[in-house]
Chains A and B, each alone.
Chain A
Amino acid sequence: MASTAKKQGVGSVIWDYLTTVDHKKIAILYLIAGGFFFVVGGIEAMMIRIQLAVPNNDFLSAGLFNEMITMHGTTMIFLAAMPLLFAFMNATVPLQIGARDVAFPFLNALGVWLFVFGGIFLNLSWFLGGAPDAGWTSYASLSIASAGHGIDFYALGLQISGAGTLISGINFVTTIINMRAPGMTYMRMPLMTWTTLVASVLIVFAFPPLTIGLFLLIFDRMFGSSFFLVETGGNTIIWEHLFWIFGHPEVYILILPAFGIFSEIFSTFSRKRLFGYSAMVFATIIIGFFGFMVWAHHMFTVGLGPTANAIFAVATMAIAVPTGIKIFNWIATVWGGSIEFTTPMLYALAFIPSFTMGGVTGVMQAAAPADYQYHDSYFIVAHFHYVIVGGVVFGLLAGLHYYWPLMFGTMLSEKLGKITFVIFVIGFHVTFLIQHFLGLWGMPRRVFTYLDGQGYNTANLISSMGALLMAIAVIILVINIIMTVAKNQKVGRDPWGDGRTLEWSLPLPVPYYNFAQIPLVRGLDAYWIEKKANNGRMMPSESLEDFHMPNNSFIPFVMSFGLFVAAFGALYFASGKDWAIDAVSGLNVHPWAPWVLGLGLAITVGAMITRSIKDDLGYYVTKEEVLRDLEEEERRAR
């Protein structure tokens, strides 16, 4: 298999990836697409910082600036951070629990294609009349008034990619509940698997409110309803509630898998069992649970009243407790360990103080009366970049270096990795530390420029310089990736030498069926145990026999494409209609819009019906083939 794969032509490789249901290849798809959008979002960030580097700048117009900040936030959260986390979840979780694939390989592929088409749709707005400009939070008072189709791209694009996220969340929960190898009890699951489980549960409950919120927006803007139109009884605050009921859990959906990646890295490179494993698991669950009870801390200034504000303030502060537990456990894991300063470990170590600072400003903002001062100022911008960059992005970069060999069978250069690390971390603090002070000095967020002589000049220039450093770091990372791919120097099993969990017990590249025999798990850090007790050989839990694998399918791609087409129909549906809101009623009528909408939906429904009618029983990998692979593996090891 491995040798034939190398001889494949480009066309058949592309077709393979378009139809794959293999979680390892889907991980690579997420990584490529997420990485692409990360670069796009980064360019948008640079535009913002160039515009703000000096007072009274006219590098970007006010309108274009609003589009930039909106697309930067939306792209980074939905199209970069989440998919990149999904890349690592897909790459590791099935291997960590000893499974041959996820519970629903077909749905896994559907998830990635929905995300890709949603992301493309959203970004096409740049070329088709203007991007959304109401902020990534898209408050209804702004979004209803926003002229043109920008907001429609936002609503429809997020609806499509959000459906993909929800499907993936359901898939991971089911996988982790049902597909664990014998002996892999819940309390033996690696932290990455645990955080994936909790984050996926959060997805299942948090994304539907967003779906509804987006539908309200879609209906108001495209089909003439009046959820947010005050003249006919609508209420814009409903959007804020729905958005933040989704939005706050969303920040934990982002940070929990990053916590998982860090937990793995801390224990691997301290060569110690994770300190306080059960407390870590418990804290993860508590964070997930509390995550749903704090959304109104984003709405302290809306006027919900002192009682509501007090309740949400206290609940918000309570979240800091389990988060603190985690911080102390990581420190205790490193404490007294035999530490190895690899690139992933460096990111993990830098994460602790950086993220903690974000947590501290979070608790400051949680004090509702004080938040009246911080709200909508650069202080907030500093807070969420400290937690998202200092937490999530550090986690992604750490995970990229750490899991690269698992995904590609090669090693990123440690030297370039460390250079990237130093520049990125310095750039990060230079950019965002000063923004706390800008906020306290009164600079509001989301303004496209500021006047000279208010004391903002130096601080903004410093911040922009830091952003430049981060951009340089990312460029070095890209060079590192290109060089590694070009060199293609293969590494073997357990490339870091200190792997503790099941995924490192496999030969590299991992066979497409993952495990020749499903292993028997005898405790936490299953591979480490066998290194001590059994020369690093996992005990099999089954005899070597034929086993079952799922078929590839092109249907997920077609289903997602159908929704992509339909979205264009919806987008232009209200253009120029007299019942439409002012923002679009003056545009040209597009008589074909309903037909395109119908056509797109027909493609999707047709694909679903095809899927239902056909029997898809999968195929069997034979014992003989597996034996051949094992012999081959043996030969290479010698």
Chain B
Amino acid sequence: MAHMEYNVPSERWPAHPETATMEGKNKFVGFWIFLAGETALFASLFATYLALKDSVPGEDHPLAADLFALPLAFVMTMFLLTSSLTSVYAIYHMRNNNFAKMQLWLGITVLLGLGFLALEIYEFIEYVHHGHTFRSSAFGSAFYFLLGTHGFHVVIGLGWITLLILRNARRGISVYTAAKVNTASLYWHFIDVVWVFIFTIVYLLGVM
């Protein structure tokens, strides 16, 4: 193997810059396996939630049907789904070696993610006012643990993408940075998919 060329000139820019190097290929496969583990993690969380979702200490403690408002959850879903789409745009421009557009769409992704996060925090504060807290019941514990873990993933994802935008600002795009961006976007899609399950299992099932 000859010396690796990271800054491939645009006329030879590969169709898949993210897997053009051996490290890139490893990252790609390794991250998918990590996501398999994350799936097992969230499966365990959903199972715990389903086991405890109706478990409260007394009659007066609110349950899912008393708390959840579908319109808000729907708006949150839209924020997150759209942010997944914008991250696809970023990857599209990465593959076309268009650094400025890639950064732009990554930025928009972060903004949408922040919007989601703000709504989630607002929602949690509302619930706490209704007496539904992490410590008030097993239902509360399970609810905040499931959504909190997802929310924590959102925070990590936002921090990660922001960091990539900043660190790559000077470096531009190369097959080395492309692998990093691609991995972050895989992560972001995964968070999105988990949310779809949360929307269905927690919110839709909760209000029905």
Contacts and interface: CB of A to CB of B under 8 A. Distances in A.
Interface of A: 103-104, 166, 169-171, 173-174, 177-179, 204-209, 211-213, 215-216, 219-220, 223-227, 229, 231-235, 238, 241-242, 245, 542, 545-548, 579, 609, 612-613, 615, 617, 620
B176 interface: yes
Given A204-B36, A225-B141, A238-B52, A174 B29 contact: yes
Given A211-B44, A219-B134, 7 more contacts: A208-B44, A223-B134, A225-B135, A226-B140, A235-B52, A238-B52, A615-B176
Given A104-B26, A170-B33, A227-B142, A613 B135 contact: no
Contacts of B38: 208
Contacts, number: 132
A545 B26 CA distance: 22
22 contacts: A103-B26, A103-B30, A170-B30, A204-B37, A208-B44, A209-B40, A209-B43, A213-B44, A219-B134, A224-B135, A225-B134, A225-B135, A226-B138, A227-B145, A232-B55, A233-B55, A234-B55, A235-B51, A235-B138, A542-B1, A547-B1, A615-B171
Contact of B25 (A178, A224, A612): A178
B interface majority secondary structure: helix
Contact of A104 (B30, B45, B138): B30
B48 interface: yes
A233 B29 contact: no
Contacts of A547: 1
Contacts of B34: 170, 204
A226 B56 CA distance: 10
Nearest to A211: B41
Contacts of B56: 232-233
B44 A212 contact: yes
B87 interface: no
Contacts of B6: 617
B40 A177 contact: no
A238 B48 contact: yes
Interface residues of B, number: 44
Contact of A612 (B30, B33, B141, B163): B163
Nearest to A228: B138
Which 7 pairs across A and B sit closest by C-beta, in order of nearness?
A233-B55, A233-B138, A208-B41, A225-B141, A174-B30, A212-B44, A208-B40
B71 interface: no
Given A103-B30, A224-B134, A219 B141 contact: yes
B4 interface: yes
Nearest to B180: A612
B167 A613 contact: yes
Contacts of A212: 41, 44-45, 48
B37 A170 contact: yes
Interface string B142-172: 1001000000000000001001100100010
A609 B30 contact: no
B33 A204 contact: yes
Nearest to A227: B141
B57 interface: yes
B40 A204 contact: yes
Given A178-B26, A233-B139, A205 B52 contact: no
Nearest to A242: B44
A211 B149 CA distance: 12
B134 A205 contact: no
A171 B1 contact: no
B37 A208 contact: yes
Given A233-B56, A238-B52, A548-B1, A226 B137 contact: yes
A209 B33 CA distance: 16
B12 interface: no
A546 B26 contact: no
Given A173-B33, A612-B167, A620 B3 contact: yes
B116 to A, nearest CB: 22
